[in-house]
Chains A and B, each alone.
Chain A
Amino acid sequence: MTVRVQATDFDLGAELAALSKGRVDIGAVVSFTGLVRDLTGDLQALELEHYPAMTQAALEEIEAEAVKRWDLDASLIIHRYGRLQPGAQIMMVATASKHRKAAFESADFLMDFLKSRAPFWKKEHGLAGAAWVDAKEADETALKRW
């Protein structure tokens, strides 16, 4: 069970390989990677601000809740901060379990809680100026299904 908050990029393949390395009891690994998207063609950068004193603990708390609810053999959350270019990796979660259902569901759970409970804020820097990304009502509603 690992949480990393970092400015630097990560190697998705290497992270997933490391998650189950040397183990024979894991039958399923599910991962999600969030990327900086530019749907209009005018995004220059996505700036991610966070609350350093709170971020690590908040992510660990979300991960601990997933571990309590599902039979997980390993899990990983990496979340970046700073100024990221379109196409860049923002974050990833990965969950490993004996069976796929636990791995899928827990990864979904982690993402829902990361969206609205991890202290990050996104600012889009475009050609016409910069604007903070608003939280979506649907993201808050999504928490209720767990």
Chain B
Amino acid sequence: MKLDVVYFAWVRERIGVPREVVETEAVNVADLVAELCTREERYAAAFVDMSVVKVALDQTLVALDAPLADAREVAFFPPMTGG
């Protein structure tokens, strides 16, 4: 399946692009992360510590083991600092 993947803040800086289309057969977020990390070093650099990376599927926060199911957009970003 094809997924729109978006990145923010230092995750975006480490990966080098704000968004891209990823072709994957990963069933959940953790699988997608593992797959990306094997593809290129920049993903491994961004996802080295997943305890400081948050994930949203179609703009809703989810856990790392969330199934990708019919998601269209996956977002990776650091813990938020609003306010």
Chain A residues near B (Cβ < 8 Å): 34, 49-51, 53-54, 57-58, 79, 90-91, 111, 114-123, 132-135, 140
Contact = CB atoms under 8 A, between A and B. Distances in A.
B6 A118 contact: no
Contact of B81 (A53, A54, A58, A115): A115
Interface of B: 6, 8-10, 56, 59, 61, 73, 75, 77-83
Contacts of B81: 115-116, 120-122, 133-135
Given A51-B6, A121-B8, A91 B83 contact: yes
Task: Please classify the interface of chain A as helix (H, G, I), strand (E, B), loop, or mixed, using the class held by over half of its residues.
Answer: mixed
A138 B83 CA distance: 14
User: Closest 5 interchain pairs by CB?
Assistant: A118-B82, A135-B79, A121-B9, A54-B59, A120-B82
Contact of A114 (B10, B56, B73, B82): B82
Contacts of A121: 8-9, 77-78, 80-81
A121 B78 CA distance: 8
A57 B75 CA distance: 15
Nearest to B54: A119
Nearest to A47: B9
Given A51-B59, A54-B59, A57-B59, A117 B82 contact: yes
A115 B83 contact: yes
Contacts of B56: 51, 54, 119
Nearest to B75: A51
Contact of B77 (A51, A111, A123, A133): A51
